[in-house]
Structure 1
């Protein structure tokens, strides 16, 4: 089968892609670091422009790539396959270029049931092995039937004796039923990683506020980033006002609330704002209610000079980006996100 040539703009890099490969797969194989998240057409992180050439758009969520965006020659590079030589426009990320993606075995060291539907898994790597990653990245658990299940790393790179994953139990979950019903300590798993372009960027200007927005177990990569700041980079971030908005339906969903409150007590430049959308009567909730991203806009007059890191359900991430950028002045290049998408797109 004939391979195709892909030219990247503005960098000018040129690679070859097989007809069976997506643009993203070909780029990663050649060591190019493009923005991406879910890798199944659900989150929209890998969106770029087809300047010249023909593609097969593949299977994707229409929320991640609208008909109007397709008419503007945009495509999702995790799904799109070349049907001719291509010239494309996209951002390349230098920071993850030298992070090696590895396939490794690991052992389940501990299981911690932290909420009615959330389990924290601690994984131990083989002796003398460590995984180099950036705070915010994720790994894919490789299942025996060939399926993958993506989990953000919740530990910081500097605290890597155990890899920490936060998994929610939900109906039809590819992996969660095994975790909650069958997984036990000393089980052996295999994973690939680190993956993804959601990670803590270099220090912004010292007066730039940084907002972390987490929905449910979207707290996991945010935890990795914040612990990296608190225990490794505290001096560099000392002049940045940092806020964490963590949203859940009920109080039980704030499964590490005590930890977040501890951070707020121990760091003068950090504030923690929990938000519940459907608090129960038994929660005796006195805090903020409603949509978590709306709480940000209620508190902040403008986001024009802010950085935002958002992680959670695709609908939350999209609503945050749309409202923050259109109504509150956030610059699109200062919005970094990871959408926790299902293993298959909801629509095609």
Structure 2
């Protein structure tokens, strides 16, 4: 048995099988709904249920509270339709443009720009190149059906006759995948992955000045977006805020400095929350989203791209909208939810 999902205000509709998650059906059919983690943790796919009935799978209260569900909101990533359904959600042009596919990938190189960060380059099949938007992510397919998600840190145009992607992976001690990356993964190892996924990428139809907000390895998709801006000659004003604990965590600081030097429309402002005495840091100190609010108290005319730890993304979303006048629809985010985050009550 299948049901019809209609999306307002676009009027697009698609079929969903009974007990199939609405978002999974949308991705399968190339319908561009907004989403991030696909696991009920980030809230990026939150939509309003206008008509019909759904059953929610497990999800975090921070992504969809009981009060929000009672008020008629739903998470399409963990909502299964039980009838024909009408939802209100922004469709994202380009989100379903490239087919999701599974493919093998080979490790080209592994670098450690910081003690707990690995920058890995992965070779893609030349006969079946991965097409994606800068800012999207792939999922590694592990044993027992487990998956781990990482954003591409290089823009698509950087591919040559030997296509490759760059990933920034932070070590999470005890993590099933990151322990492997830091302990046993080596050059020429082959992994399987699937992608591209996600609706976090540059909205090229906008001319608004941009805030590019990153914490930790949330810098990865922001880096890809900056590369794409430079390649396409996009001249919109942009300011990159990169928040980390200490100077060592700014693992591609020189790259960011160079990018800002090459792009007149781009400014770079690193912010450290816990600089060490050895850092001899003379730059900004504090929480990175608060640095944005200090510099740009009025965000009503801006567009924000935020990526990194859930606490940073959630705080920025809340404060930018409530205190700085940022329109809700202009906050675009990719929350880097770890497996621990996804299973936290």
Q: TM-score range by the shorter chain?
A: over 0.9
Alignment match, 1:272: 268
Q: 1:94 to 1:209 in 2, by over 3 A?
A: closer
Whole-angstrom distance in 2 between the partners of 1:256 and 1:310: 18
Alignment correspondent of 1:91: 90
In 2, Cα distance between the equivalents of 1:254 and 1:81? 41
Q: Deviations over 1:14-60 (max 9, x none)?
A: 33322231111122222212111101001001111111222211111
Q: Residue 111 of structure 2 corresponds to which residue in structure 1?
A: 112
Aligned match of 1:26? 25
* Map of 1:133 onto structure 2: 132
Q: Which residue of 2 aligns with 1:304?
A: 300
**Are residues 117 and 3 of structure 1, via their aligned partners in 2, closer, same or farther at CA, if it must alter by over 3 Å?**
same
Which residue number corresponds to residue 216 of structure 2? Answer: 216
* CA distance in 2 between partners of 1:5 and 1:95 (Å): 22
Q: Quick check: 264-273 or 192-201, which moved more?
A: 264-273
Would the aligned equivalents of 2:30 and 2:95 in 1 still touch at CA under 8 Å?
no
Structure 1 residues 71, 20: CA separation in 2 closer, same or farther (over 3 Å shift)?
closer
Contact 1:60–1:347 at 8 Å: present in 2 too? no
CA distance in 2 between counterparts of 1:215 and 1:122 reads 21
Alignment partner, residue 186 of structure 1: 188
Secondary structure, aligned partner of 2:38? coil
Matched, 1:334 2:343: no
Deviation of 1:70 (Å): 1.1
In 2, the alpha carbon distance for the partners of 1:26 and 1:203 equals 27
Cα distance in 2 between the residues matched to 1:15 and 1:210? 33
Structure 1 residue 175 displacement after superposition: 1.0
The residue number in structure 2 matching 1:347 is 344
Instruction: After TM superposition, give the deviation of residue 209 of structure 1 in Å.
Output: 1.8
CA RMSD of aligned residues (A): 1.4
Q: How many residues align?
A: 341
Q: Is the 8 A contact 2:27 2:96 kept in 1?
A: no
Residue 30 and residue 276 in structure 1: after superposition, are their counterparts in 2 closer, same or farther (change >3 A)? same
Counterparts of 1:96 and 1:338, CA distance in 2: 14
SS of aligned partner of 1:21: coil
Distance 1:10 1:18 in 2: 23
CA distance in structure 2 between the aligned counterparts of 1:26 and 1:247, rounded to whole angstroms = 36
1:216-255 alignment, distance < 5 Å: 216-230=216-230, 232-234=231-233, 237-238=234-235, 240-255=236-251
Distance in structure 1 (CA, Å) of the matches to 2:297 and 2:31: 39
Shift, 1:332, TM fit: 1.3
Deviation (angstroms), 1:68: 2.3
State the shift of 1:87 in Å: 1.9
Distance in 1 of aligned mates of 2:262 and 2:166: 22
Hey, what's the Cα distance between the residues in 2 that align with 1:200 and 1:16? Answer: 28
Structure 1 residues 34-43 or 94-103, which shifts more?
A: 94-103
The correspondence for 1:164, drawn from 160, 163, 166, is 166
Per the normalisation by structure 2, the TM-score is 0.95
Quote the offset at 1:84 in angstroms.
2.4
Q: 1 CA distance for matches of 2:335 and 2:278? A: 30
Following superposition, the deviation at residue 88 of structure 1 comes to 1.7
* Deviation, structure 1 residue 338: 0.3
In the TM superposition, residue 203 of structure 1 has moved relative to its aligned partner by 4.6
Do the aligned residues in 2 keep the contact of 1:62 with 1:347 (CA within 8 Å)? Answer: no
Q: CA–CA distance in 2 between the matches of 1:179 and 1:226?
A: 26
Change in CA separation of 1:274 and 1:17 when aligned onto 2, cut-off 3 Å: same
* Residue-by-residue CA offset, 1:293-323 (whole Å, 9 max, x unaligned): 0001111131111111000111111110111
Cα drift, residue 329 of structure 1: 1.1
Please point out which of 194, 199, 204 is paired with 1:202: 204
Q: Does the residue aligned with 2:67 lie in a helix, a strand or coil?
A: helix
Report the TM-score when normalising by structure 1.
Answer: 0.94
Gaps of 5+ in 1: none
Larger mean Cα displacement after TM superposition, 326-335 or 38-47: 326-335
Structure 1 distance, partners of 2:152, 2:313, is 19
